[in-house]
Structure 1
Amino acid sequence: MTTNTTGAATGRAPAAMSVFNLAMLTVVAVASLRSLPAMASYGLASVLLFVIPAVLFLIPTALVAAELATGWKGGVFIWVREAFGERWGFLAIWLQWVQNVVWYPTQIAFIAVSLSYVVNRGELAGNGLYVAIVIIVLYWVSTFITLAGGNLFAKVGSWSGIVGTIFPAVLLVVLGLAWLATGTPSQTPLTAQAALPPWTGLASIVLIVSNVLAYAGMEVNAVHANEMADPGRGYPRSVLTSAAMILAIFILPTLAIAIAVPQRSLGVVDGINLAFQAFFDHWHIGWGTPVMSLLIALGAFASVVTWIAGPSKGLLAAARTGLLPPLLQRRNRAGVQRSILVLQGLIVTILALLFVVIPNGNTAFVTLIDMAAALYLIMYMLMFAAAIRLRTTRPQVKRTYRTPAMRLVAGVGFVACAAAFVLSFIRPAGFTGLSTVGYGLVVGVVIVVLGAPPLIFYALRKPRWCLEPDHATGEDILVNPPKSGLGGDSAAARRIIETAIMSRKTTDTETPDAA
């Protein structure tokens, strides 16, 4: 999204963000087809499994993030830092970054499977070595493009969303309706009894964790609430509109997949490709499968290149204030965060080997999804807790949008995240390759290995690590800073700054020299 400077040049105020425009921004940022095959195995019951996390996670996340984003600049690092101190703010931004690192292999695995259907070799989807090689090659290609300062795919990011997500989703729905309209039997029962998911223990609903992660990212566009004419009324309407559209994009194509693909042959990774193959083969237009698979692969690859540098920029900004050693703060001549991108690549390479170590590619895929979900859920729990604390400790800070019943809304989101976090350690029903204990251990070890570094770096930090002063302090972090004029405004400004300083002192128990 580009900044509108026309208003400044002509003396007119820039146009306010409309409810529909903000809703569309959110849909493009959140909606993805990658997680749909996992839910298609539940058939009609997938509707409930999509709606539950939407109510308990998607809407609370959007509302809480809107209040935080319209009160403080800087995203999750600043929000959590202002509530609990620099250590926990650093942990939050690190988790936001590292979960994206874990997400990349799942996205590229999706690409690898789609490419196998482009060359009519769908059996390669189950070949762990093939998937691992594609992940490693495509990720490092993406990294080199980013290091060169290339922005080719960034320029077509919105088009990739249309080509790789919206068009396939709409086509799946149309094909599914045509399938039923022509009297072709559905591969999943469409009865009232099928609307409830079967209960065979906790493992039967563990895939709901992937739905929580599917809704992740609602906080990204919350900052645009400041651009609305009336955030108090417009933003909730935008949230409800985007939630309805996201649910439609998730639910309707999922049902289309379930209608065409038998549950016994439905793969978590290749379900969308199998659905297109079933539809096109049914109407004797088999050439359509490789075409659609190529479009999906291109769209997914463009999204990887578009997003590969984004989260690491936030981490670099925090790092250069002294939270990471200079080795990890290096940039190349194009100003790109070289060291962090290389570190990302090494982690992705190691995670890609899971597809070789774990024979079942579906299990490796879901394991990575659970790892990413667990890491991201910790960040969200910190965000919800920060929102509640800041309402108590910083009530004088003006928020353009204030969440109604904040403690209730944030509390629901926190509990939902905590429950999903626990479920991420339980092996999903129907997946092989790891024992129940082994599955939980793999997820737990990866969480510790990827989540512990910021706490270690914070304990070992040195004054010489600080390469740039921290500009995100005092009034600089406030979206609506108090006026520094005469009388009460000046006093209010001093009170807010003094409160911020005291809050930081009480939550940061260590000084930079403590290590």
Structure 2
Amino acid sequence: MKKIKLKTLILVNISALFGIRWIAKSTSDSFGLGVAAIPMWFIFALLFFVPQALICAELSSAYPSDSGMYVWVKAAFGEKWGFMVSWLNWTSKLFWYASFMTFFTVNIAYMIGKPEILENKYLTVAIAVIVFVTLSILSINGLAKVKFLTGLGAFGSMIPAAILIILAVVTVFAVGAEPASSYTLQTLTPKMNGNTLVAISAIIFGYTGGEVVANFVTEIENPRKNYPKAILLSAVLVGIIYVIGSIAITSLMPTSEIKASTGILDAISIGAQNVGIGSWLVRLVALGISVSILGATVIYIASPIKMLFGSVPEGMFGKKLTEMNEVGIPKKAVYLQTAIVSLLLVATSLFPGVDAIYNILVTMTALTALFPYVILILAYIEIKKKDMIKDPVYIFNDNKNICINIARIVLFLCVIGIIFTCSPIMGDFKMNLIYEIEMIGGGLLVMLSGLWLWKKYEKRIQA
């Protein structure tokens, strides 16, 4: 079998980690860090991304499996917590789908030259629901029939990011316009408020995904040398892209005007005007991002469901939900998922506008996505303490105590990220009450529902 080379591994890492929407989310004053996001991307690349990716690589080499986290956690804590990590991974994707669909609607509005559509939050939510239902129906038939979407999605995030950076450079250095933001020690230092805390959790979430690429560690050429090198180089490159992208967007727009949902397209629009390019560029970028969203979503609609239903013990879910169609997808489970995501989108219409809706969904995604990482890191610590890894293809560090202590730092950051997402950041008491109910209540509901399902399963097999 042909081995994965270092260059390919770096590109896969960058593709899996970089998302252009995080640039606007992190630099916005609303739910963001403003200019202070610039150093934070580098700090958390080193403190969070690199160690969690290397931890996942060691676990993956010791317990190679397509079910990833489920197998690793099961090895440490047994079947129950293996199920819980799969359950939490799937439920976090529900909020990811909803936030991604809202972001898609934003890009569609800009693509057709009608951004005013976004002023109607009910229409925006309705479009998001219709698109997700359509993609869910398409995904049931298998990837072969929607391959064209994933192919067209190659436009991705990197080309729009490059356009944003080039426009900013030309605006400042060729046109001679003053940067819209000031870069001083004071502005680069995060302010300790609710927006900052929520934004830090989003940056941590933006660096999750080490477990995805780690599953290929056994297929890598010289993994002991190349895997950590690829992780470090990827972290540096992704960090640089986020930093330069953050400088670009804040040089074109003051942070007070950047919106998480529309900031990238607004900044490109300003940059295009500065250099005399028409609105066609913004529409083209919006089209590319829209297509990449469709391609990514249609791939991920079925895969977390297949992981959950394919790894948990038989009898955990009813036969109707686990029954596979001719292409190996649990059709009725996809229908259930579609209904839940649609309800989530409808529920967010309680908030004042599209940007608030998008921010809530992204924050809820960050909150729930960090739950499985807490269990995963605890499992790694347990495995290292008990010396359960024998002759792995890759090992994080030969010193067991160093590995455990670094894992504890990553665990601490995950817990802090979860706590930070619940900071009250809405404009008034009523909105904060709704926000806290959705954040804390939603998180508890996700965890307790998984534990309830397991308890029901135990009673069933004991009967």
Task: Give the alignment's TM-score, normalised by structure 2.
Answer: 0.92
**Does the 8 Å CA contact 1:362/1:431 hold for their aligned counterparts?**
no
1:380 is aligned to 2:373: yes
Q: Is the 8 A contact 1:359 1:433 kept in 2?
A: no
Specify the SS of the correspondent of 2:35: helix
The aligned counterpart of 1:24 is 11
Taking structure 1 as reference, are residues 434 and 48 closer, same or farther at Cα in structure 2, changes over 3 Å only? farther
The structure whose Rg is larger is 1
Task: Determine the C-alpha separation between the residues in 2 that align with 1:185 and 1:67.
Answer: 48
The SS at the match of 2:227 is helix
The equivalent residue for 1:288 is 281
Matched AA of 1:90: F
Tell me if 1:446 matches 2:442: yes
Match of 2:329 in 1: 336
Distance 1:64 1:392, change over 3 A: same
Q: Could you tell me the percent identity over the aligned residues?
A: 22
| Equivalent position of 2:50 in the other structure | 59
Query: 2:27 is matched with which residue: 40, 47, 50?
Result: 40
Q: 2:59 aligns with which of 64, 68, 72?
A: 68
Give the distance between the partners of 2:385 and 2:183, measured in 1 at CA.
49
The 8 Å contact of residues 197 and 421 in structure 2, kept in 1 or not, is answered as no
1:310 to partner: Cα distance: 1.4
Cα displacement (A) at 1:320: 5.6
Stretch deviating more after TM superposition (357-366 or 181-190): 357-366
Structure with higher helix content: 2
CA distance in 2 between partners of 1:295 and 1:79 (Å): 37
* Match in the other structure for 1:264: 256
Partner of 2:419: 422
Q: CA RMSD in A?
A: 2.1
Aligned to 1:485: none
Partner of 1:172: 164
Measured after TM superposition, the shift of residue 411 of structure 1 is 0.8
- The 3 A distance-change label for structure 1 pair 123 and 174 is same
Q: Which residue of 1 aligns with 2:267?
A: 275
Determine helix, strand or coil for the equivalent of 1:17: coil
Separation of aligned partners in 2, 1:388 and 1:394:
10
- Match for residue 128 of structure 1? 121
CA distance, structure 2, for counterparts of residue 173 and residue 459 of structure 1: 52
Q: 1:44 to 1:204 in 2, by over 3 A?
A: closer
Within-5 A mapping of 1:112-127: 112-127=105-120
Pick from 456, 459, 468 the counterpart of residue 455 of structure 2. 459
In the alignment, structure 1 residue 513 sits paired with structure 2 residue 458? no
For 1:124-146, what per-residue CA distance to the aligned partner results, in whole angstroms no more than 9, with x for missing partners?
22421122112111101111111
1:18 positional shift: 1.6
2:314 aligned counterpart, secondary structure:
helix
Structure 1 pair 434/304, CA: closer, same or farther in 2 (3 Å)? farther
Q: What's the CA shift for 1:221?
A: 0.8
Asked if structure 1 preserves the Cα contact closer than 8 Å seen for 2:136 and 2:301, the reply is yes
State the alpha-carbon separation in 2 of the partners of residues 433 and 302 from structure 1: 39
| TM-aligned CA distance change 1:123 to 1:247, over 3 Å | same
Matched, 1:239 2:267: no
Which consecutive unaligned segments of at least 5 residues does structure 2 have?
Answer: none
Equivalent pair of 1:76/1:93 in contact (CA under 8 Å): yes
Deviation at 1:191, TM superposition (A): 3.1
User: Match of 2:437, as an amino acid?
Assistant: L
Deviations 1:363-416 (A, max 9, x none): 222221222222121100110010111123353533211112210221111000
Aligned in 2, Cα 1:386/1:320: closer, same or farther, shift over 3 Å? closer
Question: Which amino acid letter does the alignment assign opposite residue 273 of structure 1?
Answer: L
CA contact (8 A) 1:128 1:360 kept: yes
Change (3 A) 1:229 1:264: closer
Relative to the length of structure 1, the TM-score reads 0.83
Structure 2 matches for 1:11-410, cutoff 5 A? Answer: 14-41=1-28, 42-72=33-63, 73=65, 74-154=67-147, 157=150, 160=153, 162-181=154-173, 182-199=175-192, 201-284=193-276, 285-319=278-312, 321-395=314-388, 397-404=390-397, 405-410=402-407
* Structure 1 residue ranges (4+ consecutive) displaced by more than 6 angstroms after TM superposition: none
Q: Distance in 2 between matches of 1:384 and 1:432?
A: 37
1:514 is aligned with what amino acid? Q
* Distance (Å, rounded) in 2 between the aligned partners of 1:225 and 1:322: 32
Structure 1, 346-355 or 87-96: larger mean CA deviation: 346-355
The number of equivalent residue pairs is 451
Retained in 2: the 8 A contact 1:23–1:242? Answer: yes
Kept in 2: contact 1:426–1:439 (CA 8 A): no
Distance 1:444 1:165, change over 3 A: same
Contact conserved, 1:43 with 1:188, CA < 8 A, in 2? no
- Deviation digits for residues 444-472 of structure 1 (CA, Å, limit 9, x no counterpart): 111122332322221112xxxxxxxxxxx
Gaps of 5+ in 1: 1-13, 462-509
The one-letter code of the counterpart of 1:229 is E
SS at match of 2:315: helix
- Tell whether the 8 Å contact from 1:110 to 1:269 is kept in structure 2 after alignment: yes
CA drift at 1:43: 4.3
Change (3 A) 1:84 1:320: closer
Letter in 2 for 1:323: M
Contact 2:163 2:268 in 1 (8 A): no
